[in-house]
C-alpha cells in the first residue's frame, strides 16, 4: 500500500428538517474541508441512508417533527452504535447541552452567529470527534 496525499473524504450524514438550510450547510461544510455530505430531512431518512452507507459522523438538529434528534441519538446509543454524533441546533441553553452530552453526543454546536465561525466550529468538532484530538 503506497502513501497518498489524497485523504479519503470524511463521510458526514447531516440531519435537519429544514431542507433549504441543509443545502446551504452542505455547501458551507464542503468549502471548509474534505467532506462527503449526505443529507436527510428526517430521522427515518437518516436511518435508511445509514443502512446503505455508514457515515463517519452524524450532524443532527434536535427540534424535528416525528422523531427528534435526542430520540435519534438515544436510539443509536441503545443499539451500541458509537458513531460520532454532533448536535447542531438553535437551542443552546445549559439543559439542552447537558442532555445532549448525557445521551452520548460527541459535540454540540449552536447554529446562530457568524456562518464563518459556526461552520469553522462545526468542522473542528467533526474532525476532533473522528480523529480523537
Note whether residue 55 is domain-resident. Answer: yes
How many Cα atoms occupy the beta-carbon half-sphere of 42 within 13 Å?
6
Domain boundaries, position 96: 10-131
Note whether residue 96 is domain-resident. Answer: yes
* Counted domains in the chain: 1
Per residue in 45-80, pLDDT (tens digit) is: 999 999 999 999 999 999 999 999 999 999 999 999
Mean pLDDT for all residues in the chain: 92
The pLDDT confidence band at residue 88, using thresholds 50, 70 and 90, is: very high
- Which residue stretches of 1-133 are H helix? 19-32, 43-52, 69-78, 94-102, 115-131
Q: What's this model's pTM, rounded to 2 decimal places? A: 0.92
Give the model's pLDDT for residue 3.
46
Per residue in 101-131, pLDDT (tens digit) is: 999 999 999 998 899 999 999 999 999 999 8
Q: Give me the CATH number covering residue 19.
A: 3.40.50.2300
Amino acid at each position: 500500500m503506497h502513501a497518498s496525499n489524497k485523504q479519503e473524504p470524511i463521510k458526514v450524514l447531516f440531519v435537519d428538517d429544514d431542507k433549504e438550510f441543509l443545502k446551504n450547510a452542505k455547501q458551507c461544510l464542503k468549502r471548509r474541508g474534505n467532506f462527503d455530505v449526505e443529507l436527510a430531512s428526517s430521522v427515518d431518512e437518516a436511518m435508511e441512508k445509514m443502512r446503505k452507507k455508514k457515515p463517519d459522523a452524524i450532524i443532527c438538529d434536535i427540534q424535528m417533527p416525528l422523531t427528534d434528534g435526542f430520540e435519534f441519538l438515544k436510539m443509536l446509543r441503545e443499539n451500541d452504535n458509537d458513531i460520532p454524533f454532533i448536535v447542531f441546533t438553535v437551542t443552546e441553553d445549559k439543559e439542552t447541552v447537558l442532555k445532549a452530552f448525557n445521551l452520548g453526543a460527541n459535540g454540540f454546536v449552536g447554529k446562530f452567529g457568524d456562518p464563518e465561525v459556526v461552520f469553522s466550529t462545526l468542522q473542528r468538532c467533526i474532525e476532533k470527534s473522528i480523529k480523537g484530538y
